[in-house]
Amino acid sequence: MKEEEIRPEKLFDELLRLNREDIKIYFSDSKNTKINCSACGNEGIFSFNKDGFDFDECKQCKTLYVSPRPDKESFNNYYTNSASSKFWATTFYKATEKNRREMLWKPKAEMILNKIQYFSPDTKKVIDIGGGYGIFIEEFLKISNLKHLVIEPSEYLSKVCKDKGLKVMVKFLEDVEKNDLPNIKKTFVSFELFEHLHSPELFLKVLHDIMDKGDLFIFTTLSGMGIDIQTLWEKSKAISPPMHLNFFNPKSIKILLDTIGFKTLEVTTPGKLDIDIMKNNKEMINDRFWKNYIEYSNEDEKKEMQTFISKNNLSSHMMIVCKKV
């Protein structure tokens, strides 16, 4: 898989351009509050400013995060009304839907089924938080007979799911109550949501409250210790505020999960794109080793390096399996 196949450069750059326009509209009057590291609570140190947002890095656990953080209302407004959100949900989505289904969602459905069979084989229901267009659940139901539910706050997206015949709860996670969910063994999943969260801690607390003991939570997010992000740093396109605010890593995410009361069962980085992303942005790499490596290595060597990166928790695409105990 190549980055271009799931994130065509032209569309991606247009998304980032619209995003920069939206920042002026939705964030110029926001109230900003200085925050500590979202993982370990220590004070961070300023690392860089990007598009008007300051990023702090925690010296203890290496979490990278936006601080001062604008108020939640500005984000709600931005996600509901902004041109970049619309562009993402319509133009970008439509142009990449087919490739994303084949290259991302099908393998992800298989991976999640394997995790469930291994860590929680008596799961009866899979609940996708922020399920969007419902493609994960659609693909998952092709290979599993488990019950399902999509929790999706957007009226538009939840209608798309309903039209596909999927079961949907039209709510924000924080409005879901324990009584809304059946008392059977459940696995909750969420994909590429965590990096967007205004308060990852609050999200996990709310989720922990509505889960039953023994329920599983599997999620994917960006790792700030991922090799492409570390190498490109502020020039990394993944560091795109106000969309992406939180960059945990395999070690720091465990600290946060422990604090909330989850037991972390596994952290992996099954990402496949780090080297390709670096190749696509090679003129922005300053590090001598990686700059030369990208030029010097052939395709087979790159492939092998990517396998090493993924295996050693060094990719920027991270998957976490945890449990309420």
CA-based R_g, the chain, Å: 19
Residue nearer to Zn ion on the CB measure, 57 or 215: 57
Among 23, 61, 126, 151, binds Zn ion (CB under 5 A): 61
Residue nearer to Zn ion on the CB measure, 42 or 286: 42
Residue nearer to Zn ion on the CB measure, 41 or 261: 41
Residue nearer to Zn ion on the CB measure, 63 or 158: 63
State the nearest-atom distance from the C-beta of 234 to Zn ion, in Å. 19
Stretch 62-81: interaction string toward Zn ion, x if CB under 5 A: -x------------------
Closest of 230, 221, 219 to residue 277, by C-alpha = 230
Residue nearer to Zn ion on the CB measure, 19 or 63: 63
State the nearest-atom distance from the C-beta of 236 to Zn ion, in Å. 20
Touching Zn ion, residues 119-178 (CB under 5 A): none
Residue 259 as a binder of Zn ion (CB under 5 A): the answer is: no
State the nearest-atom distance from the C-beta of 207 to Zn ion, in Å. 21
Among the residue ranges 21-29, 60-68, 146-154, 183-191, the one whose residues contact Zn ion (CB under 5 A): 60-68
SS (H, E, C) the chain: CCHHHHCCHHHHHHHHHHHHHHHHHHHCCCCEECCCCCCCCCCEEEEEEECCEEEEEECCCCCEEECCEECHHHHHHHHHHCHHHHHHHHHHHHHHHHHHHHHHHHHHHHHHHHHHHHHCCCCCEEEEECCCCCHHHHHHHHHCCCEEEEECCCHHHHHHHHHCCCCEECCCHHHCCHHHCCCCCEEEEEECCHHHCCCHHHHHHHHHHHCCCCCEEEEEEEECCCHHHHHHHHHCCCCCCCCCCEEECCCHHHHHHHHHCEEEEEEECCCCCHHHHHHHCHHHCCCHHHHHHHHHCCHHHHHHHHHHHHHCCCCCEEEEEEEEC
State the nearest-atom distance from the C-beta of 65 to Zn ion, in Å. 9
State the nearest-atom distance from the C-beta of 38 to Zn ion, in Å. 8
Are the CB atoms for 43 and 67 separated by under 8 Å?
no
Residue nearer to Zn ion on the CB measure, 42 or 90: 42
Residue 58 as a binder of Zn ion (CB under 5 A): the answer is: yes
State the nearest-atom distance from the C-beta of 249 to Zn ion, in Å. 10
Residue nearer to Zn ion on the CB measure, 77 or 313: 313
State the nearest-atom distance from the C-beta of 259 to Zn ion, in Å. 11
Q: How many residues bind Zn ion (CB under 5 A)?
A: 8
Stretch 27-56: interaction string toward Zn ion, x if CB under 5 A: ----------x-xx-x--------------
Interface contacts to Zn ion, rule CB under 5 A: 37, 39-40, 42, 58, 60-61, 63
